[in-house]
Amino acid sequence: MLLISQNMGNYDLKLPKDAILRINLAWCNTLNELKVILAKNKESEFFIDLPVGRVKPPNNKYSLDDLIPIIESNKQIRYFAVSNVESKNDLQPFLDKLPDHINIVPKIESPNSILNIKEICDALKTEEKVVMLDHDDLFSSIIRKNENKNNFQKYIRKLIDFCEKENISLLRTVG
């Protein structure tokens, strides 16, 4: 999967045909801005990233209920990432409300997420399963919990091994 940031729109670049445009809603100042991006790129598939529990700026917040009509009217939205998923319970509102054609992508950002990865992935409805690891947030979480920093690589290895064994696509963000 080739994910390209919404920031590509700031440059005169053509989106490759097989690329998926990632829209991080933290960086959309209004839902109208999201609608404009979707309308300008009708031929593209989209990966929408909803920051849940985000405290660092930018900190735009949108409710799932606000997003549902936009998602339902834009069938080119194929993926919907949810931040700070630590258990299947964190996914439940999204599993209940998002259309079945949407592939929910749990963002893995803490040791608890990795310890619960099987439960999280088992809750996903789609045949193609995808998770996203945020390295920076995982490391920050380890520091906040006063865990040994050397556990960082162990958690990453545990997640990689699980995804490889279960044939789950692992997207990795850094920076």
pLDDT per residue, tens digit, the chain (175 aa), is: 778 887 777 777 777 778 898 998 988 889 999 999 899 888 889 999 988 766 665 666 788 999 999 999 999 999 999 999 999 999 999 999 999 889 999 999 999 999 999 999 999 999 999 999 999 999 999 999 999 999 999 999 999 999 999 999 999 986 5
Question: Measuring CA to CA, how many Å separate 140 from each of 6, 65, 147?
Answer: 25, 30, 10
Residues shown for the chain: 175
Rg (CA), the chain: 16
CB distance 138 to 109 below 8 Å: yes
Which pTM value belongs to this model? 0.90
Pairing of strands 45-50, 2-5: unpaired
SS3 86: coil
Cα gap 19→36, rounded to integer Å: 19
Strands 103-108 and 130-134, how do they pair?
parallel
Given a contact cutoff of 8 angstroms between Cβ atoms, the answer to whether 92 and 69 are in contact is no
Distance between CA 13 and CA 18 in Å, rounded?
14
